[in-house]
């Protein structure tokens, strides 16, 4: 075979391989959404984060606005500190915005839902969300349910 043909084929092969890698990076993985990591950070403390993980979504009214960047435990307040990276497109949440941890569906993953308040001052980069609601833990809910059932019965 002609060496020019060989070289052209190897060129095609290499280009296809690189294109495949690129496709995997951009189309299949989350690289594109991390892509310009432009965003600002908000933190919030929770008593219990349940099954929240790094990279869990952060939503407002069901719209995804960012993701959880890191989860730490504060030894002084004995609470979990969650920092969220919020996309730059979504700025200007009021200072009294509240954050809750919800579960998507019965078995789905957990996510943070933000609910804007009515304050005129806005949260800035590094700002802290004061109002938080912890994750619902199934055992606790069942326990509370049983407890209230039995107390209801006594009253009757």
Which SS3 state, helix, strand or coil, does residue 99 take? strand
Between CA 144 and CA 150 the distance in angstroms is: 10
* Rounded least distance, CB 72 to another protein, Å: 18
Which SS3 state, helix, strand or coil, does residue 103 take? strand
| 111 Cβ neighbours under 8 A, 6+ residues apart | 52, 56, 57, 58, 59, 101, 102, 103, 104
| 139 Cβ neighbours under 8 A, 6+ residues apart | none
Residue window 7-26: x/- pattern of binding to another protein, with contact defined by CB under 8 A: x-xx-xxx-xxxxxx-xxx-
* Rounded least distance, CB 96 to another protein, Å: 30
In whole angstroms, how far apart are CA 39 and each of 32, 34, 42, 72, 111? 14, 10, 10, 20, 18
Looking at the Cβ atoms of 113 and 117, the one nearer to another protein is 113
Looking at the Cβ atoms of 57 and 116, the one nearer to another protein is 57
* Rounded least distance, CB 114 to another protein, Å: 18
Q: Is 104 in the site for another protein (CB under 8 A)?
A: no
* Rounded least distance, CB 50 to another protein, Å: 19
Residue 99 near residue 135 (C-beta atoms within 8 A): no
Residue window 62-91: x/- pattern of binding to another protein, with contact defined by CB under 8 A: ------------------------------
Q: Which residues bind another protein (CB under 8 A)?
A: 1, 3, 6-7, 9-10, 12-14, 16-21, 23-25, 27-34, 55, 57, 107
């Amino acid at each position: 075979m002609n060496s020019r043909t060989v070289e052209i084929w190897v060129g095609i092969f290499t280009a296809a391989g690189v294109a495949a890698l690129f496709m995997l990076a951009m189309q299949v993985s989350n690289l594109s959404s991390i892509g310009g990591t432009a965003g600002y950070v908000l933190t919030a403390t929770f008593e219990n984060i349940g099954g929240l993980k790094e990279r869990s979504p952060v939503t407002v009214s069901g719209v995804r606005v960012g993701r959880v960047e890191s989860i730490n435990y504060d030894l002084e307040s004995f609470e979990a500190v969650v920092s969220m990276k919020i996309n730059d497109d979504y700025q200007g949440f009021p200072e009294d915005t509240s954050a809750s941890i919800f579960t998507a569906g019965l078995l789905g993953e957990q996510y943070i839902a933000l609910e804007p308040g009515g304050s005129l001052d806005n949260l800035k980069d590094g700002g802290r969300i004061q109002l938080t609601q912890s994750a619902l833990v199934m055992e606790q809910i069942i326990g509370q349910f049983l407890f209230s059932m039995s107390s209801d019965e006594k009253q009757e």
